């Protein structure tokens, strides 16, 4: 047995009075019962939803039909909407990304990844709703990199805490997608979003727990050590993440909802349903603590970002 530390389950009855989390794995992934997301949420419910996200890292809701405005508001419970990525946007809510795959647009995100880790300040989390499901398949898996860290030996934990890694969108499918829009779209993204470096081990400011922050989708290399050692360590970690003890496998129902802590989880969207239609509506949200600094940065680069967005979206 890899983990010799005794499990201490979260005391749900003591901690929660307004919602009911139902764990799917020990201290990871939980259904949330007793919340109607189509109605305004009280402050006590919002507070407990945030606590549930910090406790369980990914939370699920049974199908509820949300308007784009309600979806954005739900994400806002956890933090202000972020800029998101390169996907198309909902015409009624620009914060809402439309990730649509069908016969002419085969799935391209079937890899383990943490959303947008290639930014200096990645989004804190993500709220999605699958509004159209295929006849079968199209499931999503999540892993807890918190649990992955906690199951490592103390010596390995200590070693990883000395390392940093480079993250970039250039090694993902985004590069091909942007290239199809023309050289200027690709060059604009290259200018705006250069590779960034993050510590391999980070601490969640809300849960207080440490987690591993590398992913096969966007992590290019570990810096400061021989490349053979770096490559070997990444291969080990990517394989280590796949232990079933760290994972929840979620089968979608139409209009089902999931929200996850983007810092300490990774996910994999299965691509076993092509050529059938699957529609994912997504809002990523930022850490409210970063908003003040971000607002200062926005003023400094607003003109460049507006020009880049126009090139990337064709707007």
Mean pLDDT of the chain: 89
Q: Which of 198, 267, 278, 287 is catalytic?
A: 267
Identify the H or E element spanning 229.
helix 227-240
Query: In this predicted model, what pLDDT tens digit does every residue of 201-231 receive, in sequence order?
Result: 999 999 999 999 999 999 999 999 999 999 9
Domain 12-310, CATH homologous superfamily name and number: Clavaminate synthase-like (3.60.130.10)
Whole-prediction pTM value?
0.87
- Each residue's pLDDT tens digit, 186-195: 657 667 778 9
Q: What is the pLDDT of residue 54?
A: 98
Tell the burial category of 8 from Cβ atoms under 10 Å away from its Cβ (0-12, 13-18, 19+): exposed
Whether 282 sits among the annotated catalytic residues: the reply is: yes
- Omega of the bond prior to 275 within 30 degrees of 0, cis? yes
Catalytic residue among 71, 198, 278, 282: 282
83 given a catalytic annotation: no
Q: Is the Cβ–Cβ distance between 43 and 245 less than 8 Å? A: no
Q: Which listed residue (71, 113, 198, 250) is catalytic?
A: 113
Q: CA-to-CA distance for 255 and 63, rounded, in angstroms?
A: 5
Torsion over CA: 208, 282, 267, 43 (sign):
positive
**Residue from 115, 261, 286, 287 carrying the catalytic annotation:** 115
Tell me whether residue 287 is one of the annotated catalytic residues: no
Task: Report the alpha-carbon distance of residue 307 to residue 315 in Å, rounded.
Answer: 10
Q: What torsion, rounded to 10 degrees, do the Cα atoms 76, 82, 86, 90 define?
A: 30
* 258 backbone dihedrals φ, ψ, rounded to 5°: -140, 145
Task: List the chain domain ranges.
Answer: 12-310
* Residue 113 is among the residues annotated as catalytic for this protein: yes
**From residue 54, how far is each of 33, 91, 181, 247, 278 by CA, in Å?**
17, 31, 38, 17, 29
B/e letters for 9-29, b = 16+ CB within 10 Å, e = fewer, are: ebebeeebeebbbebbbebbb
Q: Mean pLDDT, to the nearest integer, of 94-122?
A: 92
Question: What is the Cα 220 distance to its own chain's centre?
Answer: 18
In which band, very low, low, confident or very high, does the pLDDT at 170 lie, cut at 50, 70 and 90? confident
186: CB partners within 8 A, 6+ apart = 175, 178, 179
């Amino acid at each position: 047995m890899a983990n010799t530390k005794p499990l201490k389950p979260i005391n749900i009855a003591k901690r929660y009075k307004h919602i009911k989390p139902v764990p799917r794995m020990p201290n990871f992934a939980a259904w949330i019962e007793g919340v109607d997301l189509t109605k305004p949420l009280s402050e006590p419910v919002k507070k407990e939803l945030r606590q549930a996200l910090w406790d369980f890292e990914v939370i699920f809701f049974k199908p509820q039909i949300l308007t784009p405005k309600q979806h954005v508001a739900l994400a806002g419970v956890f933090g202000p909407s972020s800029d998101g990525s390169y996907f198309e946007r909902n015409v009624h809510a620009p914060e809402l990304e439309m990730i649509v795959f069908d016969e002419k647009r085969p799935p391209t995100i079937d890899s383990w990844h943490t959303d947008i880790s290639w930014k200096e300040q990645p989004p804190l989390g993500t709220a999605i709703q699958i509004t159209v499901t295929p006849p079968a398949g199209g499931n999503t898996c999540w892993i807890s990199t918190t649990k992955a860290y906690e199951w490592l030996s103390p010596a390995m934990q200590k070693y990883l805490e000395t390392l940093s890694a480079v993250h970039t969108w250039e090694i993902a499918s985004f590069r091909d997608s942007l290239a199809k829009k023309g050289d200027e779209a690709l060059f604009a993204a290259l200018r705006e979003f250069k590779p960034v470096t993050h510590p391999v081990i980070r601490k969640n400011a809300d849960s207080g727990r440490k987690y591993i922050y590398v992913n096969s989708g966007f992590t290019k290399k570990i810096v400061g050590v021989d490349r053979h050692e770096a490559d070997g360590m990444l291969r080990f970690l990517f394989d280590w993440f796949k232990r079933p003890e760290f994972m929840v496998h979620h089968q979608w129902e139409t209009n089902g909802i999931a929200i996850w802590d983007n810092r300490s989880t990774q996910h994999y969207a299965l691509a076993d349903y092509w050529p059938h239609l699957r529609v994912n509506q997504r809002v990523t949200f930022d850490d409210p603590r970063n908003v003040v600094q971000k607002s200062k940065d926005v003023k400094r680069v607003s003109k460049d970002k507006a020009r880049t967005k126009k090139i990337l979206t064709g707007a």
